[in-house]
Homo-oligomer: A and B are copies of this chain.
Amino acid sequence: MIGNFMYYNPTKLYFGSESLDYLKGELKNYGSKVILAYGGGSIKKNGIYDQVLAILREAGKTVVEDAGVMSNPTLEKLHEGVKIAREHQADLILAVGGGSVCDYAKAVAASVHFDGDYWEEFFLKQQNPPQGQPIIPVGCVLTMAGTGSEMNGGSVITDEANTFKIGHVFDHRLMPKFSILNPRFTMTVPVEQMKAGIFDIMSHLMEQYFSGTDDNTSDYLAEALMKNVVTDAYKAVKNPQDYEARSNIMWVATWALNTLVKCGKRQDWMVHMFGHSVGAHTHAAHGDTLAAISLAYYKHVMSYGLPKFCRFAVNVWGVSSTGKTEEEIAYEGLDALEKWMKEIGLPTKISEIGVTNEMIDGIAKGVVILDAGYHKLSQDEVLQVLNKSM
């Protein structure tokens, strides 16, 4: 654990098939005016909306609905949410849905009592709310496993007018006060979304793992979480009603991006940079964009971080190292990753998710180049990676 760092994560997690029972107790800690934020209405079809609303009413809360949060929450929607929360003097924002609804709730919560341009300050300038500014507490009832938003300060908002998607990781004040994680709720999402979520989890882990050379506890933990998600992805794809598999995937998702596995580490995050640009041109699911670019990217940078790629092969995929060169071991690890992806039905090329040769230049221009992994790409290498993935 080289370097100095702080770990602080005060989100309270209620986990399990009965976890919604704890919502009523939590609600006692907050005032009477609750904003109920949710998405396109799927929670109305599957009954989660009714359950949550009944608990809110039983707790004597005044509920104001803030519906229609889209899967990539827009700046326009953020303005709307802030207006609603201000009008109704919200005491709590309860996000019911996937990571996007939770991301959105945090952005609203940070902005309501901010006396200035919150988009400029928090997202464009990457600042946190000033110390002392009131922050509306956020609670979360999670219905999809993947983003980890339920236990971190992250929030991604899209300025559609300027085709600009930007994330900010707020400090601990914006981490949800509590999150309710019921694995059964994740069984309501379509299998394709579950798969995209699974790769989002895997990618979060790989992007934090593939950096640094030191013997770091965070890498051991990341390997454990990767092994778990690999094993349970097979089970969940075979039988989406497998509670144990779905519950592990949900738990891994939370721990994959709640800052634990980045402690004492540099992090890569280039796959997310590629993925965001591919997503802007194709509107493919976020997890699918990550899956589609990963093999080309990791094969490209593998030689710069060979020991870690060998470790990945042996510790995550059980590759035997006997009598093999480091390159052979490392390649076998990426081959095992590819085999797993194909077996559970994930895309492995960007051409599979709608990217055409004509789009490549535009996508390449949209890829933000970071320098925290094993190798900083040149603009030309960005193009090479994209072309290798066609």
In this complex, which of A7, A223, A231, A264 has the most chain B Cβ atoms within 10 angstroms of its Cβ?
A7
Q: Could you tell me the distance between the alpha carbons of A17 and B264 in the complex, rounded to whole angstroms?
A: 12
* Interface assignment of A255: CB less than 8 Å from any CB of chain B: yes
Q: Could you tell me the distance between the alpha carbons of A6 and B181 in the complex, rounded to whole angstroms?
A: 10
* Interface assignment of A353: CB less than 8 Å from any CB of chain B: no
Is A220 touching B228 in the complex (CB atoms < 8 A)? yes
Is A248 touching B1 in the complex (CB atoms < 8 A)? yes
**A221-B225, A227-B220 given; A6·B15 CB < 8 A:** yes
* Interface assignment of A16: CB less than 8 Å from any CB of chain B: yes
Q: Could you tell me the distance between the alpha carbons of A221 and B225 in the complex, rounded to whole angstroms?
A: 7
**A215-B232, A221-B224, A221-B225 given; A247·B1 CB < 8 A:** yes
Within 8 A of B (CB), among A2-53: 2-19, 22
Interface string of A222-246 (1 = CB under 8 A from B): 0111011001100100000001110
Within 8 A of B (CB), among A194-233: 214-217, 220-221, 223-225, 227-228, 231-232
Q: Could you tell me the distance between the alpha carbons of A183 and B264 in the complex, rounded to whole angstroms?
A: 13
**A4-B16, A224-B224 given; A244·B9 CB < 8 A:** no
- Which residues of A approach B to under 8 Å, CB–CB? 1-19, 22, 183, 214-217, 220-221, 223-225, 227-228, 231-232, 235, 243-245, 247-248, 250-252, 255, 263-264
